[in-house]
Structure 1
């Protein structure tokens, strides 16, 4: 039995059991979400070091409809270190270590998924990732201790829940649709939950992104007219701009959230892709979010308002006021599905 070690323990988060548990439990208690939220089956949450994003992350986990009937949790995260196309990589480990207790992987389901084929050419839609790739990636690992702490908080035994960690890189629209077909069947089962790991805007020259909009109206007009947003440079005269950079970042991030919240389910995937193309917003989990949107678009028997995105918290690592500054945005979201 291969156990994935907690490779980011002691650096991205504490490796001391009591200290880590107290930190995460405090975040959950302070989140002010009166959860779990009934039928909150999917959450979107960040994956930075807990001292940066933990308070925002906790809003997502406090919302999650995590109860004793839950048997399986899918965790989807982006790839930060390797590039691959038109496949989902699944953890090949059977168990995942955290300082708070280990999580078991649903190895039987992983075997089922790796046999799924793309209908047009018979290529595999899923494959197992190698151990080194798995251990290097933080987007999946950063969800694990918070998940364990939340399970304990909700009095759900670690022995009764299994996880399926999935890494997403670059898919064509057709592959997203095929993967959506597969995952939609699991979304329909109320015993399954989904965690989508994503930070929002990475702003600054070190991230190669300096997008700027002066108002919600300006961004809306850019989306409607399909014109790219302004990119600030060292020569940009910020005194001529309407709002500070950090507020511009928030306008763009909240427009992304609004796009997911207000677009009809059948159109949400395309609207999301259009938003990303126009703004260039560096939402690192945009690909796993796209996969989930594709899966949700396959759900039938749900009313027009039956799939709802809610956003209980938002934060930034710093308030950018200069082209020389940088920041990363964190948002907590959850999706309720009412049949």
Structure 2
């Protein structure tokens, strides 16, 4: 594979360790000490924060620890996140055919990459992906808990819930496919304000209310689309962890909120599917 086809790990050394041994040790520590609020089985989708590991890593780890038992099953990860550095309509794919991290390169699912380009609202834009950390920071966790898998990385620009849900429907797949949406919650509120705001946001997410704003979650667009898709695919939302940077590193004047949420098949939906 030519180097030009690999997106480099631009967040390494900033959002997470650039040294593979240090990164491996940090991930092992985060995953081994993760304690979720609820035990879930076979999540089909996850909402995971994308801050620096020092800040959001403990919260992200609760989501990935829930995914770890599916290591032998999952072969494809559909990864959606907001674009912080570019503005565009719809969705952006990378031109690169693999994403690098200090733990190695993750290859894209070329068949899905080609199929998505048939959508009028999906463009190939390496510039949008070049410095974007929201997808990259999820990869070392995924590499650790899943081992080998194919990646479908999509940055979400100006897109409504129905458009995002439609894209997810195309990529939904079976038990070998998991969806990960990368998003933090509130930004730059005081500790108590953030707690109040984020609790309200989580109630909305658990109720599958697809009307979040960017003040509630920087990844509101992909989250809303996932919530719409979860409703029609019969998934229930389960809160695994909810904290903010004041909890993880201290400093409570201005904080960022983080949550991990798992989406699993509703027992009622499973029963209906059997008849």
TM class by smaller structure: 0.7 to 0.9
1:165 to 134, 138, 153: 153
- 1:102 partner SS: strand
Would you say 1:332 and 2:260 are equivalent positions?
Answer: yes
Q: Across the two proteins, how many residue pairs are aligned to each other? A: 260
Q: Deviations over 1:29-70 (max 9, x none)?
A: 100249983231111111111111111110011112633122
> Does 1:248 find its partner at 2:202?
no
Unaligned 5+ runs, structure 2:
271-275
User: In structure 2, which of residues 188, 197, 200 is the aligned counterpart of residue 203 of structure 1?
Assistant: 188
Question: Residues 192 and 316 of structure 1: is their aligned pair in 2 closer, same or farther, counting only changes over 3 Å?
Answer: same
**Deviation of residue 298 (structure 1)?**
3.6
Q: The residue matched to 1:254 in structure 2 has which SS?
A: helix
Q: 2:76 aligns with which of 72, 75, 81?
A: 72
Structure 1 contact 34–62 (Cα < 8 Å) conserved: no
Q: What displacement does 1:337 show?
A: 1.7
Pick one of 283, 286, 294 that aligns with 2:220: 286
Task: Give yes or no for contact 2:245–2:251 (8 Å, CA) kept in 1.
Answer: no
Instruction: Decide whether aligned partners of structure 1 residues 251 and 125 sit closer, same or farther in structure 2, where only a CA change above 3 A counts.
Output: same
> Following superposition of structure 1 onto structure 2, how do residues 252-331 of structure 1 map, counting pairs within 5 Å?
252-263=197-208, 268-269=209-210, 272-273=211-212, 276=213, 281-299=215-233, 302=234, 307-318=235-246, 325-331=253-259
Matched, 1:27 2:22: no
Q: Which runs of 5+ in 1 are unaligned?
A: 117-123, 152-156, 205-244
Which of 1 and 2 has greater Rg?
1
Aligned-residue CA RMSD (Å): 2.2
- Secondary structure at the aligned position of 1:163 is classed as strand
Q: Distance in 2 between matches of 1:98 and 1:14?
A: 10
After superposition, residues 191-230 of structure 1 pair within 5 angstroms as 191-204=176-189
Inter-CA distance 106–29: structure 2 relative to 1 (3 Å threshold)? same
Tell me if the contact between 1:34 and 1:63 (Cα under 8 Å) persists in the aligned partners.
no
Q: Decide which of 10, 13, 16 is 2:16's aligned counterpart.
A: 13
Measure, in 1, the Cα distance between the counterparts of 2:187 and 2:75: 34
Change (3 A) 1:169 1:182: closer
Query: Contact 2:78–2:179 (CA<8 Å) still a contact in 1?
Result: yes
Q: What is the CA–CA distance in structure 2 between the aligned matches of 1:36 and 1:70, rounded to whole Å?
A: 19
Contact 1:47–1:198 (8 Å) recurs in 2: yes
Instruction: For residue 250 of structure 1, report the CA deviation from its aligned partner.
Output: 0.8
Distance 1:179 1:51, change over 3 A: closer
1:109-163 alpha-carbon deviations (Å, 9 max, x no partner): 11011102xxxxxxx1212122x32121011111111111222xxxxx42xx101
* Counterpart contact for 2:241–2:261, Cα < 8 Å: yes
Aligned-partner Cα distance in 2 for 1:26–1:195: 22
Native 8 Å contact 2:197 2:216 kept in 1: no
Residue 129 of structure 1 corresponds to which residue in structure 2? 125
Where does residue 63 of structure 1 map in the other structure?
Answer: 66
8 A Cα contact 2:45 2:178, kept in partner: yes
TM-score, length of structure 2 as denominator length: 0.87
State the TM-score, normalizing by the size of structure 1: 0.71
Instruction: Provide the rounded CA distance (Å) in 2 between the counterparts of 1:248 and 1:298.
Output: 33
What does the per-residue CA deviation read over 1:191-229, in whole Å, with 9 as the maximum and x for residues that have no partner?
Answer: 11011101111024xxxxxxxxxxxxxxxxxxxxxxxxx
Encode CA deviations 1:83-125: one digit per residue, 9 max, x unaligned.
Answer: 112x111122111111112211112211011102xxxxxxx12
